[in-house]
Structure 1
Amino acid sequence: MTASVGLPALRGHQDARDRLARATAGGTLPQSILLHGAAGIGKERLALWLAQLLICEAPGSSGPCERCHSCRLTARIEHPDVHWFFPLPRPDASSAEKLREKLEEARAVELQSRRANRLHLPTYERAPAYFLATIQTLQQIASVRPSMGRRKVIVVGDADLMVPQESSQEAANAFLKLLEEPPAHLTLILTTSKPGALLPTIFSRVLPYRLLPLSQNAVLDFLTEECGIEGEQARDLSSIAAGSIGRAMRLLPGEGGPGSLAKQRAAGRALLVIALSGGPVQRLGAAHEQAPAGARAELAGQLDAFAIWLRDLLAVVSGGEAVDIGSEARSLLERAAGRPNLHPLGIADAIQAVTEAREMAYGNVNPQLIVADLLRRVQWNLSATRAGSRLDD
């Protein structure tokens, strides 16, 4: 896998690009917008494309020129009027002032990693979030006039993490004040895969743009052109990624990924087999294979693979086509699809349970407890009749 400097090329989202470019050219783009859609489909990359368009010195009708000095600086993540924020783990700090300093230092380090390697994927052992100290820094940056042009743009990725479960809403409430009275020179671009997790007062003050998953070909082109992945591996990755470049990237072996595709697929398959036919002993054994602490990125990768297996099972049960996963995997899914009481709604509930477990994987919950409870829930979802059923065991 090669590592190039700056932002990778933007893939897909042509309809959204066209709408945003028209609104920008017509002067109707609001100061605060929200790009939302599934995780890993390029929402922050599109946000930075829009930032590039807004500060471009010679914008066209369909997007930025990508040749002027401002465009080149933005592509290298170096433009002084384009600021990229993202959630970070809380560092140890003895005071509010120290916390603010350390968070900004951590953001600078992460930005440098993204400049140096366009394929960089951050992984954290602590749950990332936005803290009041970060929002105070953002507010200070927003209040200063642009240094190069007439516009300043702030991109706020994963904006839903302003309200993490374990903290108060003080960061989101502070950000709300900026949304209510933004400086005339400022454009705020928020992104999230969970718009329902935003405070209603924040959601009501942004114009939402919903982004769809990318096509399989778009993911395939990214893997081939940016990552140097070719042949069967690229086709397999693009097919199981469900339109998410981020998901495909996290299934790759090497830097930024918690493990190889084969390892995670095997772990996901093992979880599916236990959920379909295992008993309490097998569920407990699978839970004990997890470290009681740490390695949270590895667990999240296993859960991603588990969700993909369930998605393919849902396709088979519903009479659709699962992705190109090979004859052995298809045989397993077809045998599972023939089980009595297996219902599409139950599989959908199981996928939701895995999604919730993945979120907990980056929290303070013991990984062994996560897996034990998840397998119990999924096993019930895959075996319960849907009429008047309850999870009692």
Structure 2
Amino acid sequence: MDKLPEKLLKKLQKREEGNALRQLNITHGLTDFSSNDYLGFASSKSISDRAYELLNEYGEHLNGSTGSRLLTGNSRLIETAERSIAKIHDSPSALIFNSGYAANLGVISCIPQRGDVILYDELVHASIREGIVLSHAKVTKFAHNDLQDLEQKLNLITREPQRECYVITESVFSMDGDIPDLQALVTLCKNYNCRLILDEAHAIGLTQKGLVVSEGLTNQVFARVVTFGKALGCHGAVVLGSEDLRAYLVNYARSFIYSTALSPHSVATIKAAYEHLDSEIGLENIQKLNSNIAILRSYIEKYNISKQFLPSDSAVQAMLIPGNEKVKAISERLYKDGFDVRPIMSPTVPPTKERLRICLHSFNTEAEIESLIKLLAQITL
């Protein structure tokens, strides 16, 4: 078998020398402060059992979908799931994609046209950046969650009748855990006649239906992306918007058109997870998650390490520990003490912004949270 080209081997070597080489690991038996399973749905037997009930109800017994949605992969089950998801999120339509990455890539690569303008938050997810590159639109980034900087950039844009403007950001950021001022952002987009595209991947769990719904902004956001691999504990994503948007994506979103559709079991699990989210247990889990966020913030104050943490009211809490070697060593120490807390190293985040990314869940106990923060204080102070 041919060896990897020398220039690629050198890139791997450079990453290893920087203590930033990514590797696949399996962890068992640790206290989970790492996964995106914010509400514990990934291990819910109720959701699993309901998914099999749905497969029987709809007569879906295939292991795979057999093709793309435009060929043989469409089904009554997936269309029913989309209608119910659209209703839950107060949206005219919903279109399921195979992942959040595929959804962002598909939407952003095909909607902004050559000559249109995109302004995006400098910390948006890699999938958004990939879509922006493929769009061929004119692109400007604005400082993270800085609406004053965004407005200054909007003022510099030469507006022409056929030139559309798109603002792209996230409602909860995956690495910093912070939340933009959505009300002010929507007002700004309206004032400058821009269309807002919002990634809500990490917002479900904080609220039942995402921050756009909870803040009453559903009619003022052009497109929303909600992923199922976080709080819903399964796989896939959905794009929410107008019926015209859905029709356009079916015709032009390449990551939708040229992908085999999700399997019937995946779709049944998505529908079951949404039903569970709307149940008494689901609502209790949301309340418990928000309670645990407040508990963690109180303990970082108690143990005098709040200055090392970024401000966050979400399930993602970031403790800045500059340097790949140092943050990795602290993560390994936590691992030995039974805590699964992953280091986020450069180049995933900029140099000097390396951090421990602590993910909170509804199933974490107060004792686990205090033990983690107490240990971090001992290690880092």
TM value normalised by structure 2: 0.30
Higher strand share: 2
Higher helix share: 1
Between 1 and 2, higher relative CO (CA 8 Å, sep ≥ 6) is seen in 2
TM value normalised by structure 1: 0.29
